Chain A
Amino acid sequence: MEKSVIRDPGFYVMVGIGLAVMFIAPVMLDLFTIMQFTQYVVLSVFALSLGYIWGFGGILSFGQAAFFGLGAYTFAVASINMGSTTIPMVLAFIIPTIFGAALGYFMFYGRLSDVYLGVVTLVVALIFWKLINHTAGPEYSIGKARLGGFNGIPSIPTLHIPGDTGAWLDPAQMFQVFMAILIIIYIALRFLIASDFGRVSIGIRENETRASLLGYDVRLQKVIVFAIGGGIAGLAGAMWATYQSFIDPNSVSMEMSAKALVWVMAGGVGTLAGPIIGCILLQWLTLKLGTVDVVNSIAVLGAIMMVLVLALPKGIVPTAKMLAMNGWTLWNRRPNRDAVTRKAVKHE
């Protein structure tokens, strides 16, 4: 529960798997699969952003794609104008963070209730989507970058080595850089959550009234958590933009926000491994179902989601953990019982 990160075996398992995939996958797998994996990595970062604010700050955002899209467009516009990708990547984190802080300030200092918070985040994402869709004309350009409305922005630069705009990353390198980003964000969030700041957030999630009755400023705390989540989602958006070298309003769509909610819910709210696993599993399923033309993939996905929620209401990771713990106790009991019987036999 509150054990430190460095004593949690799960942490090492996750980082270990991450590092192994990062270094082994490019050697073992073909290009197409690597690019498929890259997509999962980007979306996992997006899933983490929601998994963090929802699971560890008690903030349920129905419009997390607003930050994803903001990051993506920030990166697209900045990198097209600058010709470099390093600073745009940083901006894609900073600008959504600032936007998250501003929106969070309005919501949390305005004492919006949870329901309204959900509605506001949803509406903000919708407004973004509408706005971007209306920027098709040539008059909507920022510097050299035309926003393109529903047509999107093409020819977004590929990531290059910082300081050397000629050194583009090939797909395998990009995969490795993105894996590194995912691992770093996972580690950073684990330590943030285990810090005193993170524990106060968890306290707020558990009981907001008590947190303020202990003297903590719940509003400020929530604004910070929300802003960090926004920044991470923005970074994922930038990764998405450079990976596809193209971005359109779909990145801000309801579907994008909903997907993140589904991943987190399926994987398990209150964990970080959960959102990642939920994202990969469900994206993979969507891909598999997409190849079968007979059934509507969205409908089947919806059905799977409902089964998951009913069968594993806590999500995949918490359920697996519980099963593992139960198995472990059962396993441990056997030798103990043997020891007791042996003792009893001895006494006779």
Chain B
Amino acid sequence: MGNVLVVVEQLNGKTGEITFEMLGKGRELASALGGELHALVIGGQADELGIADKVWVMGDGALAHYTSANHKAALVAAISAISPRVTLIGNTSIGMDLAAGASAATGIPLIAYCNALRVEGGQVVGTSQIYGGKVLAEVAPEDGACIVSVLAGAFPASAGRSDKTPVLETLAPPALDNRVRFVRLIEPEAADVDITKAAVVVSVGRGIQSADNIELADGLADALGGVVGASRPVTDAGWLPKSRQVGKSGLRVKPKLYLALGISGAPEHLEGMKDSGLIIAINQDASAPIFDVAHYGVVGDLFEIVPALTEKIKG
């Protein structure tokens, strides 16, 4: 059988975007393998999963709060009950707990950090992004089944949504593993911004001109769920605290997205951000060195582009 199982990721009652990205890809793989698309919900809600042919729901109150030990046990039990050809798990904090653990427990090989997947001659072939994105490795399981941990943003989420009603089936949960116990969820406090941990950094340079204009960057960062960073002149001037300074004598950041607004790209600044996943620079000066490290660049006035961009993202 060539069924594809997508492990639904839910935190705080919300289904993560990664789930829909995997469901869309899973649909495509399932048809290429001549199988069905299944989704597995552990201790949560089976809403919004209409694109799946079948949704397995496992567990009850005891599994409602995510814990690595319980959910891994549940996943291992589900895999042995369902025997999917491909199991897709998000490469998120939760996925990092589950994917490798399930692979070790079941003996099914794991393709990690996957950003492309296809079926070729009946075999699943995945591309794994390793060495900090400097190498792409194309790998296939030695035989049949595999588990895949999928990078966020690798596949479009739109292909994973449908308003159909899937078949629901319940699965008995395994014995609980209470060695890891949930205590509480902590929401981030606005005060303790750590720019090295943020996935999105909206960074401003001297081009922002004054302390009053920082709110432009705040607006954009809020819309993107990111934080505001800065070049040294901005923190020197006291427009932002020192803890926001990116660079040689500040902090080194490696976010998924680094937006450089009105930053020229001095080597001391580049040292702190050049390894970011995606760098987009907006600068009036077409010859600014920031464009040598940015992936995308716009020559233009940040005071025009940033408000429009924020508007657009807010929708």
Do A and B bind? no
